Amino acid sequence: MATKEFKAESKKLLDMMINSIYTHKEIFLRELISNASDALDKRHFVQLTDHSGQSEELFIHLSFDKDARTITLTDNGIGMTSEELENNLGTIAKSGSLDFKQENGGQEDMDIIGQFGVGFYSAFMVADKVTVNTKSLTTGESSRWESSGAEGYDISQGDRQTPGTDVILHIKESDENNNYDEFLDQYRLQSLVKKYSDYIRYPIRMEVSTSKRKADAKEDDYSDEAYETVTETQTLNSMTPIWKKSKSETTQDELNAFYKEHFYDMNDPVRVIQTKTEGSATYSALLFIPEKPPYNYYTKDFEKGLQLYASGVLIMDKCPDLLPDYFNFVRGLVDSEDLSLNISREMLQHDHQLKLIAKSLEKKIKNELQKLMTENREAYEKFFQSFGVQLKYGVYADYGMHKDVLQDLLLFYSSSQQKPVTLKEYVSRMKDDQKEIYYCAGDSIARIDALPQTELVKEKGYEILYLTDDVDEFALQMLMEYDGKKFASISADNADFSTQEEKEQAKQAQETNQPLLNAMKDALGDKVKEVKVTTRLKSHPVCLSAAGSLSLEMEKVLNQMPGQQPVKAERVLEVNANHPLFAKLSALKDTDSEKLKDYTEILYQQALLLEGLPMDDPAKYVQKVCRILEEQP
């Protein structure tokens, strides 16, 4: 019989496979096993509707012959007639492969081969000849298809006795660039099945040889004599995916073990989300919330994503589209029957089904975190230590688009509770006269607690949220308000906690001391926008505040970022008119204007120091302080 040519489009794909430089050639096995599994599904269906009562156990068998350089995959599925062979293997099936072919321009897209199904032709990545021996269950006809690649294929009379299909790969000779011999290896094949096809629902069997101790071996004999090679048929895949089992069928230990083995973590997950969802998006998912971030979590090497399975077959190891950035720490997998194995990366991105799944997962993750917070606060706080920053970035990102999802998951340290609290908890404790949520940003809790401006606010009984992460203030600015309450920095120059009486007093002090304040402002020049009397200090003589929307803390954060133009918050030096030093300054104004300058400068530098900001000129500051110390008796 004359050799037939492949259809043009098939030939192109075939050429790509033959010349594949792709390093993950190993996926050929996954593709062939999926085909076999589909064929078994079809037979299974026939058996279900067949009333003859005959039903055969369905399985896949894998074998290899090192000397003959062949790998054989057998299934007792539906089989094919010669016409089907012609249609199915002479042309690319009208599935994802076609789109794949159209999109494919060159070698760059080779990556797609690894990520998505490319079907039967992937066999040609490792084989220079493929034989398909098949018998159709429907017609009983036996046929053989054979091809050595680009030349075309032959179809002839076959000799298979029972319905099903053998696919025989004649493995290429290794050359300096490619090692094909590795596939002619028991252990390699075993592990490939485990890796890609562990959850195929039919048994994948292989004759496996292992070295075992002879039953009659002497107790102290460890020589080769004491061992024998035993060959037995083993089922390589575990078949039922743990995520397909119901909650009652799995134990926490089992899930933890699966997580640790599958996702290479040493710690148990904090929480497991096990879900089977039906409706607009039908999928099973098994998600894990880790306790600690992986070592590369805060580096650019970290890749987010969930494993994506289509009907038990792994099609992508890290599908990023399933997780929003703010939940990027979640590990796990999704299995959906609605996804096709032959789906390209581009298609996946636009896949409606995938979007629905992602949306549904987001809700589930949020609910689970919320549940963890109420059920086990301690564990939640631990979790938040690991990943809270990511949630706060999420609030800030995309112009605050996700704040509704995230705001109730946030924790900030509270001055009055001395532990992390939620915004909801804060609001529930707000004083009757309190209109805003107060916060103060700084390097550490201890440092903020010691700031001059926090002292009086605490004493007046207001709770303050201490913000210690760089992103905090940016996130709160993006939130703008919570439960109708605005956020207010107690370090802003317009923050005011005083009574009417205190306000009056301060106003008076401001007016009578205007010349002194002007002199101090002159001494500082444009380092500050203003020097003014404040009502917010108790035991401290001065503090710094910021006018405008850029706070001192934000200035610090922004200036730490590489490649940034330096920014500067507008500083206001606030002076405590009730402090003994104030009287001294006032006296100096009339007696020694040079000294007033020095004192003002020192106070200003000290205020910077307290805020954790760099001093303008430390050497000059030290000189000035020394001079004053020398003057003391």
- Minimum separation from the CB atom of position 88 to ligand ADP (A): 3
- 548 Cα distance to chain centroid: 36
Instruction: Give 199 or 474: the residue with its C-beta nearer to ligand ADP.
Output: 199
Between strands 485-489 and 481-482, the pairing is antiparallel
- List Cα–Cα distances, 60 to 39, 159, 464, in angstroms: 10, 19, 66
Distance CA 127, CA 146 (A): 12
Instruction: Give 36 or 448: the residue with its C-beta nearer to ligand ADP.
Output: 36
- 610 Cα distance to chain centroid: 38
Instruction: Give 124 or 259: the residue with its C-beta nearer to ligand ADP.
Output: 124
- Minimum separation from the CB atom of position 58 to ligand ADP (A): 12
Between strands 204-213 and 60-65, the pairing is parallel
**Please, what is the end-to-end C-alpha distance for the chain in angstroms?**
117
Instruction: Give 95 or 186: the residue with its C-beta nearer to ligand ADP.
Output: 95
Distance CA 416, CA 431 (A): 13
Angle at 405 between CA 400 and CA 410, to 5 degrees: 85
Instruction: Give 156 or 417: the residue with its C-beta nearer to ligand ADP.
Output: 156
Instruction: Give 56 or 443: the residue with its C-beta nearer to ligand ADP.
Output: 56
Instruction: Determine phi and psi for 132, rounding to 5 degrees.
Output: -120, 120
- Minimum separation from the CB atom of position 335 to ligand ADP (A): 18
- Minimum separation from the CB atom of position 95 to ligand ADP (A): 4
- Minimum separation from the CB atom of position 119 to ligand ADP (A): 3
- Minimum separation from the CB atom of position 56 to ligand ADP (A): 15
- Minimum separation from the CB atom of position 153 to ligand ADP (A): 13
Where does residue 190 rank: exposed (0-12), middle (13-18), buried (19+ CB within 10 A)?
A: middle
Which residues have a Cβ under 8 Å from the Cβ of 522 and sit 6 or more positions away? none
Instruction: Give 118 or 467: the residue with its C-beta nearer to ligand ADP.
Output: 118
- Minimum separation from the CB atom of position 84 to ligand ADP (A): 7
- Minimum separation from the CB atom of position 184 to ligand ADP (A): 21
In this chain, which residue has its C-beta nearest to ligand ADP?
119
Instruction: Give 61 or 331: the residue with its C-beta nearer to ligand ADP.
Output: 61
- 493 neighbors 545 (Cβ within 8 angstroms): yes
Q: CA quadruple 257, 262, 267, 272: dihedral positive or negative?
A: negative
Distance CA 24, CA 100 (A): 17
Instruction: For 172-305, list the strands marked E by DSSP.
Output: 204-213, 227-235, 271-277, 283-289
Which residues have a Cβ under 8 Å from the Cβ of 45 and sit 6 or more positions away? none
- Minimum separation from the CB atom of position 77 to ligand ADP (A): 5
Sheet arrangement for strand 420-421: 420-421, 412-414, 465-467, 436-441, 485-489, 481-482
- Minimum separation from the CB atom of position 166 to ligand ADP (A): 9
Say which residue the tokens 């390589």 belong to.
Answer: 236
Say which residue the tokens 């060159």 belong to.
Answer: 106
Tokens (6 digits) for 534:
């404040």
Tokens (6 digits) for 173:
């000779």
Instruction: Give 77 or 149: the residue with its C-beta nearer to ligand ADP.
Output: 77
Long-range contacts, 596-602 (Cβ 8 Å, 24+) = 596/519, 596/520, 596/523, 597/523, 598/624, 598/627, 598/628, 600/519, 600/520, 600/523, 600/524, 601/523, 601/524, 602/628
Instruction: Give 135 or 521: the residue with its C-beta nearer to ligand ADP.
Output: 135
Instruction: Give 36 or 517: the residue with its C-beta nearer to ligand ADP.
Output: 36
- Minimum separation from the CB atom of position 327 to ligand ADP (A): 32
- List Cα–Cα distances, 347 to 19, 71, 508, in angstroms: 25, 32, 71
Instruction: Give 342 or 535: the residue with its C-beta nearer to ligand ADP.
Output: 342
Q: CA quadruple 257, 262, 265, 270: dihedral positive or negative?
A: negative
Instruction: Give 116 or 288: the residue with its C-beta nearer to ligand ADP.
Output: 116
* Residues of this chain that bind ligand ADP (CB under 6 A): 35-36, 39, 75, 77-78, 80, 88-89, 93, 95, 97, 119-120, 165, 342
- Please state, as a whole number, how many other Cβ atoms lie within 10 Å of the Cβ of residue 139: 15
- Minimum separation from the CB atom of position 163 to ligand ADP (A): 10
